[in-house]
Amino acid sequence: MASQLDMFANQVVEMRSERQDTPARSKRQAVPVPLTEEEMVSRLEDGGQYRVLRKLSPRQLTVSKRPEFRQVGVILDTETTGLNYRDDEIIEIGLVAFTFDGIGKIGDVIGVYGGLQQPSTPISAEITRLTGITDDMVEGQLIDMQRVRELIEPADLVIAHNAGFDRPFCEAFSNIFANKAWACSVCEIDWNARGFEGTKLGYLIGQAGYFHDGHRAVDDCFALLEVLDRCVGEDEGPFAELLRTSGQSRVRIFAEHSPYEMKDHLKGRGYRWSDGSDGRPKSWWIEIGVDEFRDELHYLRSEIYRWEDADPPVQHLTAFDRYKA
């Protein structure tokens, strides 16, 4: 059928007769010639009925920095034995160090490390299912802290896709992570405004047009780097937005001792509950921009406490202390 997609183009080539009893003569014959992979992809995508995902290939390591990219970022990912940094342990860490400039343009990959570590207790079947890491894989393994230190010490920014999870684990693991500026690529980028339907790394990678081998730490770091460096006609790319928002100060207000009957009002306004187990006040709390602080304090005093001199606990945050335990 003429409308059928033909993955083979016809090309006329010269053929010589195999007959031995007549002089060699040329004749023209049409034979199919395969399209290249990129040509096939173009045909599929141009029709509007297909969307092709390309396998994500890690960027090459560069041995020297370009002078225009003076700052260093490190994308970090961990796999752990559970969700509680006090009781659970890191069993894998992945680090990808890269350079960037002051406006958020990414330069080159300058360092990569991935390492496994044997925990003090066996890995549960559920963690193996989620991470693919088994007891046999980590037996006798130790994370190379000298290599980790080499990558983390010069970093101007440490980035994790859920820094609220990774930072407490990393700081419990080593104090090398404690005095660094951290950024979270989940909550400090408005992915929805960029047309993404979710914030999980797998969603972001797929919607960016790639697929990758997930759940291994270094692979996930490289995947996140590609998403952060993806610009599709935006004035500001994802990494530039992350750099800008992570550098802004924030304020965390704890509505401590607020009336119980006001809990639904607080929840509806975006407050979250802290049970006090993490060292914070046992109360509803919210994190907002510095420019929103005055209005939020007025709301609490007039609508929640109904007392003009109410003075709820306030915590001022920068990238150096945000996402700490």
Task: Please report, for the domain that includes residue 151, its CATH number.
Answer: 3.30.420.10
286 vs 273: CA distance, rounded Å: 9
156 and 228 fall within a common domain: yes
Residue 33 lies in a domain: no
- Which tokens in the block code for residue 50? 């297909």
CB-based burial of residue 292 (10 Å sphere; 0-12 exposed, 13-18 middle, 19+ buried)?
middle
pLDDT of 26: 53
pLDDT of 212: 81
Q: Which residues contact 228 (CB under 8 A, 6 or more apart)?
A: 75, 106, 159, 185, 237, 238, 239, 242
Residue 274 lies in a domain: yes
Residue 242 lies in a domain: yes
Q: Which residues contact 300 (CB under 8 A, 6 or more apart)?
A: 253, 255, 258, 310, 312
255 and 157 fall within a common domain: no
pLDDT of 5: 47
Residue 75 lies in a domain: yes
Residue 11 lies in a domain: no
132 and 200 fall within a common domain: yes
118 and 204 fall within a common domain: yes
* Domain that residue 86 falls in: 71-247
Counted domains in the chain: 2
214 and 254 fall within a common domain: no
Residue 32 lies in a domain: no
Q: What is the largest CA-CA distance in the chain?
A: 112
Instruction: Tell me which of 247, 262, 285 is where a domain ends.
Output: 247
Residue 215 lies in a domain: yes
Q: What is the 8-class DSSP label of residue 119? A: -
258 and 224 fall within a common domain: no
Helix (H) or strand (E) holding 116: strand 106-116
230 and 302 fall within a common domain: no
pLDDT of 64: 83
293 and 156 fall within a common domain: no
184 and 276 fall within a common domain: no
Residue 64 lies in a domain: no
Identify whether the C-beta of residue 107 lies closer than 8 Å to the C-beta of residue 66.
yes
Instruction: Tell me which of 231, 247, 263 is where a domain ends.
Output: 247
Instruction: Tell me which of 196, 215, 247 is where a domain ends.
Output: 247
What interhelical angle do 238-246 and 217-228 show, nearest 10? 100
214 and 291 fall within a common domain: no
210 and 258 fall within a common domain: no
pLDDT of 28: 63
174 and 283 fall within a common domain: no
Going residue by residue through the chain, which has 325 residues, state the pLDDT in tens, using 9 for 90 and above: 444 444 444 444 444 444 455 555 555 667 778 888 888 878 887 877 887 888 888 999 998 889 999 999 999 999 999 999 999 999 999 999 999 999 999 999 999 999 999 999 999 999 999 999 999 999 999 999 999 999 999 999 999 999 999 999 999 999 999 999 999 999 999 999 998 989 999 899 998 888 887 668 999 999 999 999 987 666 799 999 999 999 999 999 999 999 999 999 999 999 999 998 777 899 999 999 999 999 999 999 999 999 999 999 999 999 999 999 8
